[in-house]
Amino acid sequence: MSSSGPSSSGEVPTVLVKDSEGRDLLCFLEQLIPLDGKDYALLTPVDTPVCLFKLRDGDDPQLIDSITSSEPILSVADVVLQEHDLTLVRSAVTLTVNGELDEPEPEDPDDEEGDDESETYELLVSFLVENQEYGLYIPLDPFFVVARMDDGCAVLVEGEDFDRIQPRIEAELDERDLPE
């Protein structure tokens, strides 16, 4: 029986993933999935992924899913995180936080209706920028990254390529999880 997951010594290999803009993200290699003669890697970030939300009184927080790394909001977030001995990293795929974090407590702080599209988050820090409140939240669901392995280098699978390959990777993983 062979395994394409972590070695039996318990050490999980790490891979540096690059996106189309040249940013990188250090990840743990969780699974290798061969498809169409290429190896695809299922990865999880080494640092803690975080999501930026705009907070509004009485309304659900609004996810900000597109932000440039030079955005003033992130400079303020940097300063706030430094007060907690944490560092904001503008990585490929997602923002991440480097440093010692307390274990998140599973709760659903802002989503009482529970629609299927929503994830569960824990507020890490909140801060004000020009009288607007923002928050950095940690997703409590696992955060996976898909990369294609090319000559030992991991290249992020993005856009249409991701849309095309994701269902096939999920099907392969479902098949692997079936009891023999």
Separation CA 60–CA 58 (nearest Å): 7
Q: 17 with 147: CB under 8 angstroms?
A: yes
Query: Virtual CA dihedral for 50, 60, 73, 125, nearest 10 degrees?
Result: -50
Separation CA 167–CA 29 (nearest Å): 19
Q: What is the DSSP string of 67-103?
A: --TT-HHHHHHHHHHHTTT-EEEE-SSSEEEES--PP
Domain ranges of the chain: 14-45+142-177, 48-139
Q: 20 with 156: CB under 8 angstroms?
A: yes
CA nearest neighbour of 31 among 179, 175, 138, 158: 175
Q: What is the pLDDT of residue 21?
A: 83
Q: What is the pLDDT of residue 178?
A: 63
Mean pLDDT of 48-72: 83
The tens digit of pLDDT for each residue in 103-140 reads: 655 544 444 444 444 458 899 999 998 888 999 999 88
Separation CA 42–CA 40 (nearest Å): 7
Residue 178 neighbours by CB under 8 Å, 6+ apart: none
Measured in residues, the chain has a length of 180
Q: What is the pLDDT of residue 124?
A: 92
Return the higher-pLDDT residue of 56 and 9: 56
| Predicted confidence (pLDDT) at residue 170 exceeds the cutoff of 80 | yes
Q: What is the pLDDT of residue 67?
A: 74
The tens digit of pLDDT for each residue in 6-47 reads: 444 567 789 999 888 888 999 999 999 998 899 999 999 999
Banded model confidence at residue 141, pLDDT cuts 50, 70, 90: confident
* pTM for the structure as a whole: 0.75
| Least confident segment among 10-19, 53-62, 130-139, 171-180 | 171-180
